[in-house]
Amino acid sequence: MTTPAMPFDFSIPTIDPLERALQPELQLAIDRKTKPPGSLGQLERVALQLGLIQQSVAPVVRRPAMIVFAGDHGIAHAGVSPYPQAVTAQMVLNFLAGGAAINAFCRLNDMMLEVVNAGVASELPSHRQLVDMPIALGTRSFLDGPAMSGAQLAQAMAAGAARVEHHARHGTNVIGFGEMGIANTSSAACLMQRLCGLPLEVCVGRGTGLDDAGLARKREILARALVRHPMAADPLETLAVFGGFEIAMMTGAYLAAARSRMLILVDGFIATAALLVAQAVAPAVLDYCVFSHASDETGHRAMLERLHARPLLALDLRLGEGTGAALALPLVRAAAAFLGEMATFDAAGVSDRA
């Protein structure tokens, strides 16, 4: 039997669905702005959701934060990525030096950025922007056994939750999650296949740029891995078998963010795979999620369809790092701004439609 030891020593938090009593008042406030009803499109939906989360007809965006979780994967050694595993640590150093796309987008959008070492397979230097809390030096290969033990999974989820709670104490009410980890699209594809029940070819994409031969090899390796492990009834068990430490931390972070009544900006393929697990154990987490974009990675649109999600952007992104979530932040700010600052028909002296 290849499943990890049970039970997991992690208590799933109680997440309350959004209280809807304020919805008629919020909808009226949105509709009374000087515009035709519905003419601000998805911004109106985001404004309504933000208002319901904050239980306010004048919601605000406070101290938005991005947490990028980094971890290595044992499956990388099977040849599922065109990049060597060392790139994970090299990219973390790039984050800390301020040179990655996520750095540029967070600076541009005044978004606090934190990098968490969830389990990079090498030592990292101390840095003011790095939270160093590795579970291990990378996961095991799930070709040989579970990627992590039940105890490691619980530790990772608790660590991700703790980072969100830290930001909540400092006033953050909008948060996004990114990731870095060579071969983590392989983990995400296996999680998607098991949690969504879709054919593997729908779930497996080119990741960081595999050619046709590399894609065929990746599919063959992941098909063997899925056969190696029996179907798990528990989504957390599936996460322990196929996940990465960064994905497990992100799963715990989603749960903590929803419990803290934050608006959560969901990034791309890897981030949505972690959300698949979180919503499987706590469905109300979706009430707090805004889906930032539709990734160009194979499988992401099928994930979004499964979650009945409407992404704000479609820019053919497939970088990860939380970049799509950071790019969507100005739209959340715009939703709050029109609700809080735009005049009503009465206040502006503008005639409403008959």
Q: How far apart are CA 265 and CA 254, in angstroms?
A: 10
Mutual orientation of helices 184-196 and 269-281 as an angle, nearest 10°?
Answer: 40
Euclidean distance between CA atoms 231 and 227, whole angstroms: 9
Contact 6, 233 (CB under 8 A): no
Residue 321 annotated as catalytic: yes
- Distance, CA of 302 to CA of 202 (rounded, Å): 8
What does the H/E/C string look like for the chain? CCCCCCCCCCCCCCCCCCCCCCHHHHHHHHHCECCCCCCCCHHHHHHHHHHHHHCCCCCCCCCCEEEEEEECCHHHHHCCCCCCCHHHHHHHHHHHHCCCHHHHHHHHCCCEEEEEEEECCCCCCCCCCEEECCCCCCCCCCCCCCCCCHHHHHHHHHHHHHHHHHHHHCCCCEEEEEEECCCHHHHHHHHHHHHHCCCHHHHCCCCCCCCHHHHHHHHHHHHHHHHHCCCCCCHHHHHHHHCCHHHHHHHHHHHHHHHCCCEEEECCHHHHHHHHHHHHHCHHHHHHEEECECCCCCCHHHHHHHCCCCCCECCCCCCCCCHHHHHHHHHHHHHHHHHHHCCEHHHHCCCCCC
Q: Among the options 123, 305, 321, 341, which is catalytic?
A: 321
How far apart (Å, rounded) are the C-alpha atoms in residues 92 and 179? 10
Structure token digits, residue 188: 């995400």
Q: Does the bond joining 311 to the residue before it have cis omega, within 30 degrees of 0?
A: no
Any idea which residues carry the catalytic annotation? 321
